[in-house]
Structures are given as C-alpha cells and as structure tokens.
Amino acid sequence: MDAHDTEVMPSTLIAPEANGDGHVASVHNLYKSFGSFQVMNGLSLDFKPRAITTILGPSGTGKSVLLKHMVGLLEPDSGTVNVFGQDIWGIAERERAQLRKRFGVLFQDGALFGSMNVYDNVAFPLRKHTDKSESEIREIVTYRLKEVGLEAAEKKAPNEISGGMKKRAGFARALVMNPEIVLFDEPDSGLDPVRTSLLNDVILKIHEEDRGTYVVVTHDIRTAKKVSDYVGLIWQGRVVYYGPAEEAFSSSDPFVRQFLAGDSVGPLGMD
C-alpha cells in the first residue's frame, strides 16, 4: 500500500509532484494512427495543475483518444505523455498501473457495471485496488455518494436510474481513490440543460474542495463557459487554440470564433 492508499478523506489530497516545468500532466508532440488514419497529429498540451481545463473540438477529432493516451490506455506512435513527472511509456507496465490509480476517469457513458448496484459500482475501485475494510469503504463511498447527491440511490441498479444520475454515479466512482487528475469525457452528453447545469455545479463544488487537475472534454459551450479555467480547442489531432477561459471566450481567433458560434464557415472543416 502506498501513501496515497492510506488517504481516507479527500480534503487531504497529497500535493502532486509537478514536472520540471510545473505541470502534473503534459502531452508533447503526440502522433497516433489507427491503420492509415492519422488521429493524433503532433498534439502538445500542458495541463495546469489544480485547474479545470476544457477540451473542445468537433466530433472525431481525437479528444477521447487524447484522454486514453493520458491515462495510459493507448500508446503513442511517437511523442510523450508525462504525468506526475514521469514519462508513462518510459516506465514498466507495473509502474504505469500504479500511476493509473491516481487518475479518476468519467467515461462518455458513465460506464457503470450493469450487474452491480450504484453502491457496489462506486466501491469497485476501492475493493479492487486497496485492502481497505468494508467499513472504511462504506465511509468513503457514502461520502462520495452524498457529495454527488445520490445517497438515496445506492441500492438501485444502473438501469433504474436516469442518465444524469448515471453520470453522477460515474463521477462518484471516479473520485473514490482521491485522484489527483480527473478526466471527464463529455460529462454532459445526453443530459438536458438543467441536468447539465446541476452536474457542472457538482464538478465545480468538488473541484473547489479537492483541487485536482481536471480535464473536461465537452461539446457544450455552456459547460465550457461555466467550469473552465483554461480552454484548449482541438482539431485534426492538434491543438489549434489554447488559453485562459476569459481570453478564449472573447478571442478573435478564427478557430475559436467558428467553434463557439457553431458556424459552418471558417477554418474548421468536416475533415
């Protein structure tokens, strides 16, 4: 058990080791193709520690693929992924697996196990990756379920709860290991504007308490406006814009203007 596993309450998050340049996560010159299809095209991005960075970009442009590289599920053809000061593909699989435990990931569809109730879904990472007792697990799971407003739903199966509740359950599960980096793949997809707004409130509230490094992939401009400290716009496997949120939303950059306006005319094309 490492020091991180002994943490119980999230308010005592360990300060993440930063890279030499002060970042806890950075991707440099990432290239990746699937067959002849080039998805990552020299993408570089330094994620500011303890901030919420929103990743925007058209469908199929490589946002989910980027997150999979960051968490070590996909290996780059070339380029580097650095987290907590380590090149994650320059270390052994065993060490990479240890690093993965310091990530929380909220997948695009919540990715709950259909055969387990909400409680067991949220408890799953703790049972799998730690040797905590069931009473310690109950303390953490209850805390996290309460935080996302799901304490009354713990016995429900995923097919008995709404889309918004599934996302919140996925979020609670992503948080139980007290991750220093949390990756959200479209936390708002499939939610109505009110549920999106409520989920964004939960994200902001928990970020305020835990101060993790959050990366939020979204198509929803309102989400981006509400939660972002920094905004990156990705197109064709490359970062075409990156900046602090207040600059991004008033930027005259043609990529940003077109994406924010949802305009068909501009530098962002279909391919």
Instruction: State the residues that interact with ligand ATP by CB under 6 A.
Output: 34, 39, 57, 59-65
Q: How far is CA 122 from the centre of its chain?
A: 17
Backbone angles phi, psi at 79, to 5 degrees: 100, 175
In terms of CB distance, is 118 or 268 closer to Mg ion? 268
- Residues in a beta bridge with 87: 82
Tell me which residue has tokens 């440099």.
28
Contact 90, 78 (CB under 8 A): no
Q: Which residue has the tokens 């101060």?
A: 211
Residue 218 lies near Mg ion (rule: CB under 5 A): no
Indicate whether 61 belongs to the interface with Mg ion (CB under 5 A): no
Stretch that binds Mg ion, among 58-66, 117-125, 232-240, 242-250 (CB under 5 A): 58-66
CB of 64 vs ligand ATP, minimal distance in Å:
3
Q: How many C-beta atoms surround the C-beta of residue 79 within 10 A?
A: 17
Q: What are phi and psi of 242, to 5 degrees?
A: -150, 135
213 binds Mg ion (CB under 5 A): no
Q: Which does 213 bind (CB under 5 to 8 A by kind): Mg ion, ligand ATP, none?
A: none
Would you give the distance in Å from CA 111 to the centre of its chain?
A: 13
Among 64, 200, 223, 236, binds Mg ion (CB under 5 A): 64
Site string for Mg ion, 142-181 (x = CB under 5 A): ----------------------------------------
Please, what is the minimum distance in Å from the beta carbon of residue 260 to ligand ATP?
Answer: 16
Smallest distance, Å, CB 243 to Mg ion? 22
Are 118 and 153 in contact by the 8 Å Cβ rule? The answer is yes
Q: Which residue has the tokens 């935080």?
A: 147
Which stretches of the chain bind Mg ion, using CB under 5 A? 63-64
